[in-house]
Amino acid sequence: MTGDLFDNGEPRLLDLPDADIRYWPRVDLGAPLDRVLKELIEQTPWRSEVITLWGQQHPQPRLTAWFGDPGARYTYSGLALEPLPWTDLLSDVRRRVGTLADASFNSVLMNYYRDHRDSMGMHSDDEPELGRNPVIASLSLGEQRTFVLKHRFRKDLKPVNIELESGSLLLMKGATQHHWKHGINKLSRPCGPRVNLTFRQVSAGLT
């Protein structure tokens, strides 16, 4: 296909200690962003999961879906997710993201923030099946939301806010997950929907 590299450009390397994070403001998905967003919202079998945190059950404040190669199982916050098979759209996006990230991914966690009330708590993506230094490629579509990064140990460092634009790709690798937490806060004002896709490589058989 022609025009594959049209929007991608060079990523910006974030100047953060103990982290390797790159940001592409706009990647080429081979189709208009609003069409991809609409298709993902309408055609994904979204789930509302109940998670267990510190022995308490809570509904997750967003919808999720897990796609991947057979056997790419993922366990977090008391949930064990079996992968759905790749759709044509998701496997095309996986190929494009893998080329930019120069990495291979066998799964994707999809997050659907329906409006300003949906969020994701601060966490590190450090589950054992992700391996020691996971490469995580996070593609955002729809409403721009703020990605907050906080150092896990250095209280002298202020939280860092990154505005994740529609069509952007954020790549976290190296020791990032050992030293930093990240999350998406609720907003006080209404906003439109956002879909986020975090591509991952999970090892089978660890869970």
Ligand X SMILES: O=C(O)CCC(=O)C(=O)O
Give the number of other Cβ atoms within 10 Å of residue 15's Cβ. Answer: 8
Please identify which residue in 111, 168, 177, 201 interacts with ligand X, judged by CB under 6 A: 111
DSSP one-letter code for 47: B
Size of the site for ligand X (CB under 6 A): 12
Q: Which residues of 74-102 are buried (b: 16+ CB within 10 A; e: fewer)?
A: bebeeeebebbebeebbebbbebbbebbe
For tokens 């977090």, the residue is 76
Q: Is residue 147 at the binding interface for ligand X, with CB under 6 A as the rule?
A: yes
Please identify which residue in 138, 166, 168, 176 interacts with ligand X, judged by CB under 6 A: 138
Q: Is residue 184 at the binding interface for ligand X, with CB under 6 A as the rule?
A: yes
Q: Is residue 125 at the binding interface for Fe ion, with CB under 5 A as the rule?
A: yes
CA–CA separation, 182 vs 151, rounded Å?
9
Shortest reach from residue 15's CB to ligand X, in Å: 20
CA–CA separation, 64 vs 196, rounded Å?
10
Q: Which residues of 122-149 are buried (b: 16+ CB within 10 A; e: fewer)?
A: eebbebebbeeebbbbbbbbbbebebbb
Q: Is residue 126 at the binding interface for Fe ion, with CB under 5 A as the rule?
A: no
Shortest reach from residue 64's CB to ligand X, in Å: 8
For Fe ion, which is the closer residue by CB, 44 or 138?
A: 138
Burial class (CB in 10 A: 0-12, 13-18, 19+), 54: exposed
Shortest reach from residue 31's CB to Fe ion, in Å: 26
Shortest reach from residue 8's CB to ligand X, in Å: 19
Shortest reach from residue 193's CB to ligand X, in Å: 12
Shortest reach from residue 194's CB to ligand X, in Å: 7
Contact 85, 102 (CB under 8 A): no
Binding to Fe ion (CB under 5 A): which residues in 21-80?
Answer: none
Please identify which residue in 97, 137, 164, 171 interacts with ligand X, judged by CB under 6 A: 164
Give the number of other Cβ atoms within 10 Å of residue 34's Cβ. Answer: 11
Q: Is residue 172 at the binding interface for ligand X, with CB under 6 A as the rule?
A: no
Q: Is residue 125 at the binding interface for ligand X, with CB under 6 A as the rule?
A: yes
What is the binding site for ligand X (CB under 6 A)? Answer: 109, 111, 120, 125, 138, 140, 147, 164, 182, 184, 196, 198
